[in-house]
Structure 1
Amino acid sequence: MSAEDGGGGEGQRCPPCRPSATLLTVVVGGARFSEEKAFLVQSCDYFRALYRSGMKECRQDEIHLQCLHARGFLMALAASRGELPDLDADGIVEAIECAAFLQAAPLARRLVDFIDSDNCLLMYHTAATFGLTDVYRAAALFIRNMYADLRAEARESLTPDLISYVESLTPSAFVAVGAHVTCAEDEAVHAASRTVCRLDETANSWKVLTDLPPEASTSMAGVTVLDNRLYVVGGVHGLHRRVVDSGFCYSVDGDSWSRIPGPAQPRYDLSLVGADGHLYAIGGECERTAMSSVETYDVEAGRWAFAAHLPRPAAGAACAKANGRVFVCLWKPMETTEIYEYVPGSDEWRPVTALIRRQSYGHCMVGHRDDLYVVRNGPSDDFLRCLIDCYNLRSGQWSSLPGHFANSKGSLFTAVVRADSVLTLNRTATQEFAIGGKTWKPRRQMKGFPRSGSVWTFLLRLPR
């Protein structure tokens, strides 16, 4: 009897059973899949609920899922193994249907990462049809971030209710904060610059979003956004450059700051990344010594824990997320770039790739779908050029973007991906490039961030 047949009704329940290491045969659309029960339970809430129900189906060796397509189930298995299944239009529909029915979180996360300007309308409509909430919301926000380009097509292909939800959202704002140190005796002088600012793209001007807390410092701190909250961790403050021992969190909805614990190991010049409910404080320095230690902060639990060390000490390392995965870029003097991925399941930094390229120093790394873009200064005889190399996680191949991107002397180059665009910033200009076909095509130029020193950029969804 299959799981959908409703067997094991009232009065026929068995004691809850624990999935064993034995194999289960799952029949989907005429195809047969043999998988370990424990793997299925870990990957899908459907199987987890089945094996906790005590129904007699949980003791069967074969289950039929008659309402799904075999390819959708195959994609769910691939996503649960950390693979990157490719999707055409039919595959998107089948994958969303499967992710919704099985409550397969790994596949849902993969679908969110797969959203682009070509498939966002299909994914939005399909996710709404099958009630896959995470994909529905992510696709809606993606459409809102590109609404000027997609408005006509959206109004032709979406229902009024779906259009209304998209238009109720605000696009992700481009936000920046410079490096500021707390110094009580000069606080009145520097108060005006101790602000987090957003770019009003309609007025082409920077406006204050919030002031930094008096105890916070963004000098050599880690700055990131997770679940639409801004985090500032570590750094130094005061004339004697004391390490900040607390972290700070800014809530957009409440327009308020709160204090969070600092890492167990005091650190500055660290890299901070947010992913899957955790902050990652990566490397940095303490007492002028570079460190390889890494700590993770569980936002829900409110505590830090040590994770696997980096392969070698690193301060100010370039980090990025792609497909929900965390990557760090370690520079070897002078011409070798190594990329590692943090694997939470095994708590290890796994080598991904290395690149030999002449450069004067590294800038940053950003992720867009299956690609990691490494942005750097050119060789020492032409260090004002910004060169961009792209590493594709699926093919394992490097490519160089054509052309080069001029960088103003004295400015720190930063980049943030929004939908299928990338926003870059220095003191003289904010530039938007459309990402497509392994190229960055200039789209528009806006006002630069008129402050000297280091600057962090990120996206926040602001209330209306």
Structure 2
Amino acid sequence: MGRTSCRGLEGESQELSHKPGRDCEMATLRVRVEESVFAVERATLVRDCEYFRALFRSGMRECQQEEVHVKGLRARGFLIALGVLRGERPILTGEEIIEVAECAAFLQVAPLEKHLINIINSDNCLLMYHTAATYGLLDLYHSAALFIRDMYRDLEDDAKCLPEELLDYVESLAPSTYVTVGTHSPTIELLQDFVRTVCYLDEDEKEWKVLTDLPIDASTTMAGVTVLDNKLYIVGGVRDVSNQVVVSCYCYDPETDTWTTFCSPRQLRYNFTLVGHEGYLYAIGGEYERTTMSSVERYQVSTGNWSFVSHLPRPVAGAACAKAMSRIFVCLWRPMDATDIYEYVPVRDEWVLVTTLIRHQSYGHCMVAHRDNLYVMRNGPSDDFLRCMMDCYNLTTGQWTAMPGQYENSKGALFTAVVRGDSVFTVNRKMTLEYIIEGKKWKPKKEMNGFPRIGSMWTFLLRLPKTGRQPEGQRVLNGNGRDLKNHVYHHQSYALQCSD
């Protein structure tokens, strides 16, 4: 491989304690990996790479050199790492995953491990899991194990190539469960309605069962509902036809089976979109006093504070939203025949137009994500609410594909779809239907009993504790991390045996 020049990301680096490191920080460093040489801005390496940050702070002779030779890595893995640090999101092959994981572990590049987590899928999850155990990438290890747990019935035969201890860890985790709640207004204790419940789907018995009762003052009517870090959040909602907003917000923790309250957004709102992402809740658009808004607020769970972020490009209520590869996407409609999809970029606090779908009656009611695809569901011909048309946008290629056929809403409310692994769950009063995503089609896989409640529904995924005891996997998550580290380090001597 010949010489390669790769420019890094622009931006200020953090303060360094050593003057020698700071003096060389602004220059360009040549990094030799195998027979290739890469020109990289030192600021990029300081910001994103623990290995080079420690090197430049050390005051050692190497931090003054114009070229550093890194041994034990492969040039292709380092090249991909630099691309990720520039903001690229490549889909990787099996060998590339191993090389990139090796680079992420050796150089301690957190954004690189995060990218690997974002591209876990059914084709590479076993390889990701074993590779993470080999190189001690704890976050990737746990994320891959959770993915495998959610698809364990489909992957059980292939997973036999894993060491027994790795399989034991997967089986100790709680799988994601399909959960739903209807639209309800607040009540009073004497008139507590038995249907004001959050329910989960028992897939073995094909029945919906009660998980918990809603708090008396909670409203799910025109509320914002989402899940973040395996906790259910309900924000806003209205009391009655006057659209009086419920001020209290609610959080349900399935681990403790308890509800807590937290403060409302600075701007009261209803009929808005609530998204949970990396420690924050985002309240997007909505209405107040029958006025549609473009304002957006985010709630930092760790501090309990709401703050305004960049407004949407235009006002919107009840916008369809999805997260794909740890990115937030929102549909904004332009009458009559266009749907714009915007991405919110938290690090820059800005909304970026990604693509526009131009279809007759392209008003998107729901959007879900699978791998690097966004699926936009909309009404059938002539506003036929019994049928659903679907279009797929691939984030990697930037191409739209019209999904073949029409999907019958009488068999599954696609406007409330939820993705788990390679499956899509839909529900209405008569039937709960699981689709399997195969190529460019969604094929019916399993039929279960419907959710026998009238009105709209909120659907989502939660990991529920195993009956009668706390699951071992959750104990690891709630602990100090030592159990997980010991489990991973125990397997670092294994050679890689699985491939995708």
Which of 223, 226, 245 matches 1:224? 226
Number of the residue aligned with 2:187: 183
CA distance in 1, matches of 2:384, 2:240: 36
Number of the residue aligned with 2:147: 142
Number of the residue aligned with 1:211: 213
CA shift, 1:410, in A, is 11
CA distance in 2, matches of 1:223, 1:50: 46
The answer to whether the aligner puts 1:94 opposite 2:107 as a matched pair is: no
Change (3 A) 1:426 1:56: farther
Cα deviation code 1:306-327 (max 9, x no counterpart): 1111010000000110111101
> Any residues of structure 2 matched to 1:134-283 within 5 Å, and which?
134-155=139-160, 157-184=161-188, 188-237=190-239, 240-283=242-285
Cα deviation code 1:246-285 (max 9, x no counterpart): 3221112122122222111111111011112211110001
Number of the residue aligned with 1:365: 367
Give the TM-score normalised by structure 2: 0.85
Number of the residue aligned with 2:47: 42
Number of the residue aligned with 1:6: none
CA shift, 1:53, in A, is 4.2
Number of the residue aligned with 1:82: 87
CA shift, 1:411, in A, is 5.9
CA shift, 1:144, in A, is 1.3
CA distance in 2, matches of 1:445, 1:458: 18
The answer to whether the aligner puts 1:129 opposite 2:134 as a matched pair is: yes
Change (3 A) 1:239 1:189: farther
Number of the residue aligned with 2:299: 297
CA shift, 1:55, in A, is 4.3
Q: Please say if residues 411 and 453 of structure 1, whose CA atoms lie closer than 8 Å, have aligned partners that are also in contact.
A: no
CA shift, 1:45, in A, is 3.0
Give the TM-score normalised by structure 1: 0.92
Q: Please say if residues 412 and 453 of structure 1, whose CA atoms lie closer than 8 Å, have aligned partners that are also in contact.
A: no
Cα deviation code 1:177-212 (max 9, x no counterpart): 11111033xx54452122111101011111111122
- Please give the secondary structure, in 2, of the residue aligned with 1:166: helix
CA distance in 2, matches of 1:308, 1:453: 33
Deviation larger for 423-432 or 388-397: 423-432
Q: Where does structure 2 lack aligned partners over 5 or more consecutive residues?
A: 1-16, 467-500
- Please give the secondary structure, in 2, of the residue aligned with 1:217: coil
Q: Please say if residues 360 and 378 of structure 1, whose CA atoms lie closer than 8 Å, have aligned partners that are also in contact.
A: no
Aligned length, in residue pairs: 449
Number of the residue aligned with 1:413: 415
Q: Please say if residues 247 and 260 of structure 1, whose CA atoms lie closer than 8 Å, have aligned partners that are also in contact.
A: yes
CA shift, 1:61, in A, is 2.9
Change (3 A) 1:103 1:214: farther
AA aligned to 1:163 is L
Change (3 A) 1:48 1:264: farther
CA shift, 1:129, in A, is 0.7
The answer to whether the aligner puts 1:455 opposite 2:460 as a matched pair is: no
Number of the residue aligned with 1:442: 444
Query: Looking at both structures, which has the greater relative contact order when contacts are Cα pairs under 8 Å and sequence separation is at least 6?
Result: 2
Q: Please say if residues 187 and 193 of structure 2, whose CA atoms lie closer than 8 Å, have aligned partners that are also in contact.
A: no
Identity percentage of aligned residues? 61
Deviation larger for 217-226 or 74-83: 74-83
Deviation larger for 383-392 or 101-110: 101-110
Q: Please say if residues 331 and 364 of structure 2, whose CA atoms lie closer than 8 Å, have aligned partners that are also in contact.
A: no
CA shift, 1:363, in A, is 1.9
Q: Please say if residues 412 and 454 of structure 1, whose CA atoms lie closer than 8 Å, have aligned partners that are also in contact.
A: no
Change (3 A) 1:14 1:305: closer
CA distance in 2, matches of 1:382, 1:282: 28
CA shift, 1:96, in A, is 1.3
Which of 337, 340, 359 matches 1:338? 340
CA shift, 1:137, in A, is 1.1
CA shift, 1:42, in A, is 2.4
Deviation larger for 20-29 or 205-214: 20-29
AA aligned to 1:422 is V
- Please give the secondary structure, in 2, of the residue aligned with 1:193: coil
AA aligned to 1:416 is V
Q: Please say if residues 243 and 289 of structure 2, whose CA atoms lie closer than 8 Å, have aligned partners that are also in contact.
A: no
CA shift, 1:415, in A, is 0.9
CA shift, 1:24, in A, is 1.8
Q: Please say if residues 412 and 428 of structure 2, whose CA atoms lie closer than 8 Å, have aligned partners that are also in contact.
A: no
Change (3 A) 1:381 1:221: closer
The answer to whether the aligner puts 1:424 opposite 2:426 as a matched pair is: yes
The answer to whether the aligner puts 1:375 opposite 2:355 as a matched pair is: no
Deviation larger for 431-440 or 47-56: 47-56
Number of the residue aligned with 1:5: none
- Please give the secondary structure, in 2, of the residue aligned with 1:280: strand
Q: Please say if residues 384 and 409 of structure 1, whose CA atoms lie closer than 8 Å, have aligned partners that are also in contact.
A: no
- Please give the secondary structure, in 2, of the residue aligned with 1:32: strand
Q: Please say if residues 372 and 394 of structure 2, whose CA atoms lie closer than 8 Å, have aligned partners that are also in contact.
A: yes
* TM-align CA RMSD: 2.1
CA shift, 1:54, in A, is 4.6
CA shift, 1:113, in A, is 2.1
Q: Please say if residues 252 and 258 of structure 2, whose CA atoms lie closer than 8 Å, have aligned partners that are also in contact.
A: yes
Number of the residue aligned with 2:287: 285
Q: Please say if residues 431 and 445 of structure 1, whose CA atoms lie closer than 8 Å, have aligned partners that are also in contact.
A: yes
CA distance in 1, matches of 2:413, 2:127: 41
CA distance in 2, matches of 1:130, 1:410: 43
Number of the residue aligned with 1:58: 63
Number of the residue aligned with 1:7: none
CA distance in 2, matches of 1:443, 1:200: 16
